[in-house]
Copies of this chain bind each other. A is one copy, B any other.
Amino acid sequence: MARIKTDDKNLSRKDVIVTKAASLFREKGFKAASMRDLAEAVGVEAASLYNHIKSKTELLHDLCFNVANRFMHKIDEIEAEPISAIEKIEKLLRFHITEMIEHYEEVYVSDREWKHLEDPYLSNFQNQRRLYRKRFAAIIEAGIRQKEVKEIDAPTAVLIMLHAITGIESWHRSTQKISAEALEDNMITILVGGLTNR
């Protein structure tokens, strides 16, 4: 009977908890953010949170795997497209940037706080992460073989690009000074084209 959603108030309350959790985990870090902090942000007593969630770890788990799944689906999609390696790289980078702008808190938490997952999930997450990077590197290597891309170490290039994007703490702040699109183009120019003129 619990499977039939007769009342979406329950669901929406859980969504509020998850959203506030993402925000708190990003602000303070997973360990430093307490369930009492979260309860206060949601507007209930700490004990009441447990009517909607199983544990603090479950919150982190949900956040991390939501993000991981989105990236996994996107790389599935891009790999299958009949476009050049450079176009694939650029599409993937633009997706990372869009994710950072649109789901900043979750992506940030997923990237920095996954260490605090517990072990069936921890290993699973690390494996997905490793696989994703390998597939990204394979695209770059294809680009090198086709002479579209410079002869660089592909796994290093992947790390550089991903960290360059996810490391930026303040997409909101940045997007105030320059528009999101201008920022995105800027990043693609730098990462794909480099700094120097010629």
List residues of A whose CB falls within 8 A of some B CB: 28-32, 86, 89, 112, 115-116, 140, 143, 147-150, 152-153, 155-157, 159-164, 166-168, 174, 178, 182-183, 186-187, 189-197
Residues of B near A157 (CB, < 8 A) are 186, 190, 195
Q: Is A191's CB under 8 angstroms from B29's CB?
A: no
Residue of B156, B182, B192, B194 near A186 (CB, 8 A) is: B156
**With contact pairs A163-B164, A190-B157 given, residues A196 and B150 touching in the complex (Cβ less than 8 Å):** yes
Roughly how many angstroms separate A192 CA and B150 CA in the complex, as a whole number? 13
Report how far A150 CA is from B160 CA in the complex, Å.
20
Q: Contact between B28 and A115 (Cβ–Cβ < 8 Å)? A: yes
**How far is A186 from B157 in the complex, measured between Cα atoms in Å?**
8
Q: In the complex the two chains form, what is the Cα distance from A116 to B27 in whole Å?
A: 11
Q: How far is the CA of A152 from the CA of B65 in the complex (A)?
A: 35
Could you say how many copies of this chain the assembly holds? 2
> Given known contacts A153-B183, A167-B167, is B160 in contact with A196 (CB within 8 Å)?
no
A187 to chain B: which residues have CB within 8 Å?
156, 160
CB of A184 to closest CB in B, whole Å: 10
By the criterion CB–CB under 8 Å, are A150 and B189 in contact?
yes
Q: Is the CB of A186 within 8 A of B152?
A: yes
Q: Is the CB of B115 within 8 A of A197?
A: no
Pick from B152, B155, B182: contact of A195, CB below 8 A: B152
Q: Which chain B residues border A30 with CB–CB below 8 Å?
A: 29
Chain B minimum-CB-distance residue to A183:
B156
Which partner residue on chain B sits nearest A159 by CB separation?
B168
Contact A86 B196 (CB under 8 A): yes
Decide: B159 and A167 in contact? CB cutoff 8 A: yes
The answer to whether B190 touches A193 (Cβ under 8 A) is: no
Q: Are A196 and B192 in contact (CB under 8 A)?
A: yes
User: In the assembly, what is the distance between CA of A184 and CA of B162, in Å?
Assistant: 17
